[in-house]
Amino acid sequence: MAEYPAYIYTSGSPLQHTPMHLNASDMYGFFIKGDLEKLQETVDATLNRVAANRMTFRALSPYIMLTFTRVEHAQSSFPADYNKGWGKECDIIPWILVGQVEENDGNTKLHRVFLYPSYTWVDVPMAISIGREIFGYPKNICQLSMPEPGDDPLAFKISCEGWEPYSPETQLDVHPLIEIAATDTGKTHQPVSGFFDVIREGLKILRSEPDLFALDEAGLQDFESLLLRPRIDQLFLKQFPDASGVKAVYQAVVVAPAVIDKVYEAELLGYTYACTVHKFDTFRLDETLGLELGTQPVLLPFHIKMDFTVTEGEELLEAAATSPQKIAILGGGPGAMTAAFYLTDQPNWQDRYDITVYQMGWRLGGKCASGRNARLGQRIEEHGLHMWFGFYDNGFALMKKAYGALNRPASAPLATWQDAFKPQNYIVLTESIGEGYKFWPIQIPEKPGDPGEHNEEITFEKVVTTLTAWIRQWLKGLDQCISDAAKAEPEKDAKGLGPFWEGFLGLLKHVPEAFHFLEKPNHESLLGALRTIQDSLLQRVEHLLDSDDEARRFFISIDLAVTSLIGMQADGVLLNGFDVINDIEFRDWLRKHGANQDYTIDSAPVRGFYDLVFAYLDGDTSRPNIEAGTMLRGILRIAIGYHGGFIWKMQAGMGDTVFTPLYQVLKQRGVNFQFFHKVETLIPDGDGVGEIVMTQQVALADGMTEYNPLIDVADLACWPSYPNYGQIDTDQARLLQANDVNLESHWSDWAQIYEAHFGRPLPVKQLKRGVDFDQVVFGLSIGSLPQVCQKLLEKSPPLKATSDNVKTTATRAYQVWLNKSLRELGWAAFGSEAEDPVLSSFSEPFDTSTPMNQLLIREVWPAGHAPQNVSYFCSPMRMPDVPPHTETDFLARCTGTVKLGALGQLRQQAFNLWPAVATEDSFDWQALIDPDNNSGEARFDAQYWRANVNPSDRYVLSVVGSTQHRLASDASGFSNLYLAGDWLKTGLNAGCVEAAVMGGMQASRAISGYPCAIKGETDR
């Protein structure tokens, strides 16, 4: 700590030295439940902000301890102050239980426990000066009433001076804040031996809370031993402002022990109390502590008469007077933008960080970017089919924060997150039966709640309970199928599953508790019973599986669920988590545990999940490959962990829905954006990244200091499919358009075109560590590592192992706009309330499709050309080899291949979906929207298709054994490099926007300590 000059005590100064003896203190205390997340936000905004990652403080419990204390004799024992005399005071303090923790590799170690006074109200002005300036108590004057010594403890009240409500017209006045009142005085008080008996009783309450801070049993024991020491450490934020009131001339985290010298009397109060919190804008206890406005229950009321001493304080940390750290965020995908959002989602973040985002090309979004094509009805053009699952708690929490911060007018398009996302609960799987297809419609029930408000860490107990409940339900359905078949063919004398199977239904009822409680030998008997179901079921229903669609689907569902239960128990998943089976491919794991080869292994549900995550090596659908643990975790979270809708469809392009609000909020907060900056290479220097080399792709037009990337489409801010050429240097813009240059392409020939025309190479920027940046958030996808991080890979074996083992695949997509509705096209299988389907496990070359008609209202088509339907198709794209960037026609060749595949599917397969406009060998091209009114296949030229082959566009896979090579954000091997994206070890370990958001949150947490909790990081 710094060496300070001696404090100058002037004549009449109210300050006194430590230690301070607070004798004959009459304390009443009450435990009241707040909100753990809001308490942590308060700790982050105060203690952790000063700590700046040198220490980490966590709120340990949602309960605050509210104390009313009457001190009859307060006096310093410092000789000069002792001779001055003594005083009296009353104070009211809501204490937050705070721990100093160390987090490493997902483990939390608790070092110290503190009581943190979030507020302190006193009735004596002298007490304000001594407590606030010496220790850091956040003291304010108040008016209070509490029982006099010996009185019955019936009522406690506090009123404070302040403003309610905040308004230019509101005059400072006294308003009520907190009231505690006895509501039932029927029980007697229980004497205890002292304050620590009260603490022990409080610990029982804390242990009973499911949202107690995540400590294992050893951590809880450390917590209890730390809390029961013979002194109580009080923790303070101590600070003094400069003359402007803007900056702090001194700011520190201070700890001052309170030592109990003598206890005269202690008791647990038998009365029942209620606490009333009043709305008071000066003291928003609902926001800072999470207390409910109005009346709420009180736990563990207590009363202690004691002497205690507050001894000399100790500075744990002092805020250093430093310049903000410069953070360079590379890329604009969901991981990068999430990192930027959470880094700036902290009070006064500008004091700590100066953030610049560097983005290739003209738009944000990465592989999630979308654009508006002004030449064709401002239509939405996507990289592929994007939808959000209902278990995406982190992604939806981000969206709620972004839309809330944006605070659009209620009449604006996509004013709220609920306007931007709508539930989709109807899916259709495609079964390949013989030479044809059968559609397996599934109507999924909505569940209570909204995504983003729940803990997605699905417990294994819930998994087992849910699976067994489903099996029992499906067995009953299958029994009905057998009975119906018997009625149709009475000569076969079939009688359903029979009494034998009733026994299995009874067994299944007890499977969850059996898995949870039985020792291993008994588990084996239970596994044997499940295997009997598995083996016997086929014998009982095999005669129906080819002819009865419903029976076959019940059988497949039961077989998958039973196999999963068997495999999870047999392979130790329930004890050790899903990663223990990541050494085997998912279909092989199903085979290992007895799933039926003929009907289940390659069934529509299995193929649907493979198609969902493009789980094929090099995009080759004959080479399925995904880790069993990662796949099983994903299936169960999707099926069990959703809230509200099973799937949520965006109501505009993903760029418009997700990246516009993120960009607008970040711009408002003060984040800098540098578009048209292509990262070429990162160069190491010592233990960190020393230099970032970029190409500046274009110069802006004269007079422009920054690029404005958005356009207005029907009152919604959107991203265009092409740059806003009017903002680019005139000559460069003309050259770009004349050569149809794609600034997002890894194989672009723009550098050669530019140099040939202007006689000089594109400008290169070399950002230097300590000058242009201090820390780097690498938000590019893993496919970019070999191109831009070659020198880093040479120095970091872990990063090299990640690059080598976490694979990616190219994907392909096309969109068609049609002049007929889905029903007019001949599709007949609609969901409840005529909901359109999401179709999966269809035939290659495009295996997944869905109508996206909700988007048409956001497009602006000329009269006479308004579509009645728009449908999206996507799939993996086979690509074993990727040529060097010098093959500048590679992207065009790939795009041509996608077009040929789309034309072929429409000609030869569309009849399965749209029989009204297609036959087995033809398609009615007049059904396609074409403003130029071409004929035949030429009308397809007015549709949209793309090959996602750029390194940053490739989809991240979870091939067998790859999760062990994934890294946490701060494990790159370089001290100032933080990774962000869905290729990190996030707990999902699969390619999706939720994992990318989690990766971005990891990056923010690694840099700033915020957010402390990321849902779904562990298997529970």
pLDDT in tens, 701-731: 999 999 999 999 999 999 999 999 999 999 9
Split at pLDDT 50, 70, 90, the class of 538 is confident
Amino acid occupying residue 511: V
Phi, psi of 1011 (to 5 degrees): -80, 150
Residues 68/92, Cβ–Cβ less than 8 Å: yes
- pLDDT tens across 877-916, in order? 999 888 999 999 999 999 999 999 999 999 999 999 999 9
Task: Please give the pLDDT value at position 944.
Answer: 98
Question: What phi and psi, each to the nearest 5 degrees, are found at residue 320?
Answer: -85, 145
Query: Pairing between strand 190-191 and 977-979?
Result: unpaired
Checking if the pLDDT of 463 tops 60, the result is yes
Q: What is the CA radius of gyration of the chain?
A: 33
Q: What's the DSSP call for residue 819?
A: S
534-540 average pLDDT score: 84
Concatenated DSSP letters of 116-173: EES-EEES-HHHHHHIIIII---EEEEEEE-PPTTS---EEEEEEEE-SS--TTPPPE
728 DSSP β-pair partners = 700
Return d(Cα 398, Cα 344) in angstroms, integer: 13
What are the backbone angles phi and psi of residue 428, rounded to the nearest 5°? -130, 125
pLDDT in tens, 242-268: 888 878 888 999 999 998 889 999 999
- Sorting pLDDT into bands at 50, 70 and 90, what band is 1? very low
Task: Tell me the mean pLDDT in the region 667-674.
Answer: 97
At 960 the pLDDT is: 98
Decide if pLDDT at 213 tops 50. Answer: no
Instruction: Let me know: does 312 contact 340? Beta carbons within 8 Å.
Output: no
Which residue shows structure tokens 């419990």?
A: 61
How far is Cα 720 from Cα 710, in angstroms, rounded to an integer?
7
Q: What is the pLDDT of residue 227?
A: 46
More confident residue, 888 or 497: 888
* Model pLDDT, residue 116: 96
pLDDT of residue 224: 52
pLDDT in tens, 265-296: 999 999 999 999 999 999 999 999 999 999 99
Can you give the pTM of this predicted structure?
0.75
Asked whether the predicted pLDDT for residue 225 surpasses 60, the reply is: no
Do β-strands 838-840 and 426-433 pair in parallel, antiparallel, or remain unpaired?
A: parallel
Q: Which of 543, 530, 546, 438 is nearest to 475 (CA)?
A: 530
Q: What is the mean pLDDT of residues 387-404?
A: 97
Give residue for tokens 């299944």. Answer: 508
- Range in 32-36, 112-116, 512-516 the model is least confident about: 512-516
Other CB atoms within 10 A of residue 18 CB: 18
- Please state whether beta strands 139-145 and 120-122 pair in parallel, antiparallel, or not at all (unpaired): parallel
Phi, psi of 681 (to 5 degrees): -160, 150
pLDDT at 551: 95
Structure token digits, residue 68 = 């009313």
pLDDT, one tens digit per residue, over 98-125 is 999 887 655 678 888 899 999 999 999 8
Q: pLDDT per residue over 571-619, tens digit each?
A: 999 889 999 999 999 999 999 999 999 999 999 999 999 999 999 999 9
Strand 426-433 and strand 231-241: the pairing is unpaired
pLDDT for res 230: 60
Q: Where in the chain is the domain with CATH 3.50.50?
A: 330-426+649-948
* C-alpha neighbours within 13 Å on the C-beta side of residue 167: 7
Computed from CA positions of residues 792, 950, 849, 907, in that sequence, does the dihedral angle turn out positive or negative? Answer: negative
Cα–Cα–Cα angle for 423, 424, 425, rounded to 5 degrees: 115
CB of 927 within 8 A of CB of 917?
yes
Question: End-to-end distance of the chain based on CA atoms, in angstroms?
Answer: 42
The residues of the chain that CATH labels 2.40.400.10 are: 20-318
What distances in angstroms separate CA 927 from CA 477, 710, 815, 824, 837, one per listed residue? 41, 32, 13, 10, 20
- Whole-angstrom distance, CA of residue 434 vs CA of residue 453: 45
Task: Provide the 10 A C-beta neighbour count for residue 10.
Answer: 6
The percent of residues in the chain predicted with pLDDT above 90, rounded, is 74
User: Could you give the count of Cα atoms lying within 13 Å of 628 in the half-sphere of its Cβ?
Assistant: 22
What does the alpha-carbon distance between residue 776 and residue 326 come to, in Å, rounded to a whole number?
9
Distances (CA, A) of 35 to 61, 286, 640, 758, 886: 9, 9, 26, 62, 57
Interval 559-564 mean pLDDT: 96
Q: What is the pLDDT of residues 937-953, one digit of tens each?
A: 999 999 999 999 999 99
Q: Is 217 a residue whose pLDDT tops 70?
A: no
Handedness of CA 581, 585, 586, 587 (dihedral sign): negative
- Within 10 A of 188 (CB to CB), how many other CB atoms are there? 10
The letter for the amino acid at 371 is G
The amino acid sitting at 589 is W
pLDDT, tens digit, 9 for 90 and up, residues 41-52:
999 889 988 887
Closest CA to 647 of 468, 854, 820: 854
In angstroms, rounded to a whole number, what is the distance separating the alpha carbons of residues 638 and 663? 29
Of 115-129, 224-238, 270-284, 848-862, which gets the smallest average pLDDT?
A: 224-238
Pick the closest to residue 427 from 555, 611, 560, 551 (CA basis).
611
Question: What CATH number is given for 330-426+649-948 in this structure?
Answer: 3.50.50
- Rounded Cα–Cα distance for residues 682 and 673 (Å): 19
Would you state the structure tokens that stand for residue 905, as one six-digit string? 């599917």
The maximal CA–CA distance of the chain, rounded, in angstroms, is 111
Indicate if the pLDDT at residue 869 is higher than 70. Answer: yes
- Whole-number mean pLDDT of the chain? 91
Q: How confident is the model at residue 372 (pLDDT cuts 50, 70, 90)?
A: very high
CATH dotted code for 20-318: 2.40.400.10
Mean pLDDT, residues 804-813 taken together: 98
pLDDT of residue 288: 96
What is the identity of the amino acid at 905? Q
Q: Which two tokens stand for residue 946?
A: 């793309």
* Better pLDDT: 411 or 80: 411
Instruction: Indicate whether 493 pLDDT > 70.
Output: no
Nearest to 189 by CA among 272, 266, 267, 263: 267
Q: Identify the residue whose tokens are 């003359």.
A: 243
